[in-house]
Amino acid sequence: MNKRQADTIAEQIEERIFDGSFAHGDRLDEVRLAEQFGVSRTPIREAIQRLALSGLVELIPRRGAFVRQPGPVELIEMFEVMAELEAVCGRLAARRISDAALTELAEANRKCQQAVAQKDADSYYLENEHFHRIIYEQSGNGFLAQEAAKLHKRLQPFRRLQLRFRGRMAQSMAEHESIVQALRSGEAERAANVLRDHVAVQGEKFHQLMANLKNTPG
């Protein structure tokens, strides 16, 4: 599939928003970006349109495009929704999951634990995402899986922060174990509840972190 310039540009701008190169409130100057990417304004505008739709950018008519990082309140809301989506995926997956997927899930979890033991943050994220993605897909509902993956991706950069909490990774691994067990034994409601809490605690930890950062000078 031959990509358009607008596609790659959108991804790159998105990347810069995620990694903080663009902060909240920054205006995306079309001509400036056009120069930077060595293209005309047209593909830049297309890229901005997409970012606007995905919510990373606010488009004010006749004024321009402004980077819109979600504030603490919206983030907590998003984590709450993520928790509920995962719970639904888990409830459905408990009834529908295949044996192959169950072993794949255990394998992903094993690699996850290994990454934790080696303090390899990057591969931890990779395997953790894989773990969750399996559950999304085993919900047997492609639309749900897609929506869950989309929100997961959007929250990914913020998830990273909660790593800082001592012992969180170990606890997280224990939760993964419970999840696998519940899915294996087909306990729909337990799978839902464990998954919901597993994600919700991330939101709470994040909340705490925000509060701490606010109270800590410098």
Is 65 or 148 the residue whose CB approaches DNA more closely? 65
Instruction: Note whether 1 binds DNA by CB under 7 A.
Output: no
Is 24 or 164 the residue whose CB approaches DNA more closely? 24
- The DSSP result for 144-157, as a single string, is HHHHHHHHHHHHHH
- Tell me the C-alpha distance between 127 and 105, whole Å: 10
Q: Which residues lie closer than 8 Å to 27 by C-beta, 6 or more apart?
A: 64, 65, 66, 67
Is 62 or 166 the residue whose CB approaches its own copies more closely? 62
Query: To 10 degrees, the CA torsion angle through 147, 148, 150, 156?
Result: 170
Backbone dihedral region for residue 59 (phi beyond 0: left; psi -120 to 50: alpha; all else: beta): beta
Stretch 61-100 residues interacting with DNA (CB under 7 A) = 61-65
Q: At how many degrees (to 10) do helices 188-215 and 72-96 cross?
A: 160
Is 11 or 80 the residue whose CB approaches its own copies more closely? 80
Instruction: Note whether 191 binds its own copies by CB under 8 A.
Output: no
Q: Are 43 and 9 in contact (CB under 8 A)?
A: yes
Stretch 20-49 residues interacting with its own copies (CB under 8 A) = 45-46, 49
Region binding its own copies by CB under 8 A among candidate stretches 72-80, 93-101, 112-120, 210-218: 72-80
Instruction: Note whether 216 binds DNA by CB under 7 A.
Output: no
Distance in Å, CB of 62 to its own copies, minimum: 7
Is 116 or 194 the residue whose CB approaches its own copies more closely? 194
Would you give the binding string for DNA spanning residues 5-24, x where CB under 7 A is met? Answer: xx------------------
Instruction: Note whether 50 binds DNA by CB under 7 A.
Output: no
Distance in Å, CB of 184 to its own copies, minimum: 23
- Tell me the C-alpha distance between 129 and 154, whole Å: 12
Beta strands in 47-186 (DSSP E): 57-60, 64-67
Half-sphere exposure of 88 (CA within 13 A, CB side): 13
Binding site for its own copies (CB under 8 A): 1-4, 45-46, 49-50, 53-54, 61-62, 73-74, 77-78, 80-81, 84, 88, 141-144, 147
Binding site for DNA (CB under 7 A): 2, 4-6, 27-31, 39-43, 45-46, 59, 61-65
